[in-house]
């Protein structure tokens, strides 16, 4: 759409896309954070390979 109405529609569409993209990225970051905490809690020391538990001097 040419003219002022077209410019307003384009600006609104870009704003909505940017806001939605940011919201999705925040949700992805939260899911990754929760997943890493769950993985950390579920991995037991006895499940690790022997080389991971040896003290390096």
State how many domains the chain has. 1
* Domain that residue 15 falls in: 1-40
Torsions phi, psi for 55 (to 5 deg): -75, 130
Spatial CB neighbours of 45, under 8 Å, sequence gap ≥ 6: 53
Residue 6 counted as domain residue: yes
Residue 50 counted as domain residue: no
With bands split at pLDDT 50, 70 and 90, how would you rate the model's confidence at 17? Answer: very high
Residue 32 counted as domain residue: yes
Q: According to the model, what pLDDT value does residue 44 have?
A: 81
Alpha helices in 1-57 (DSSP H): 4-42, 50-53
Residue 17 counted as domain residue: yes
Residue 11 counted as domain residue: yes
Report if pTM > 0.75: no
Residue 45 counted as domain residue: no
Residue 5 counted as domain residue: yes
Q: Where on the phi/psi map is residue 3: left (φ > 0), alpha (ψ -120 to 50), or beta? A: left
Residue 55 counted as domain residue: no
């Amino acid at each position: 759409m040419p003219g002022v109405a077209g410019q307003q529609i384009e600006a609104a569409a870009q704003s909505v896309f940017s806001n939605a993209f940011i919201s999705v990225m925040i949700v992805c970051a939260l899911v990754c954070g929760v997943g890493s905490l769950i993985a950390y809690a579920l991995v037991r020391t006895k499940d690790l390979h022997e080389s991971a538990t040896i003290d390096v001097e």
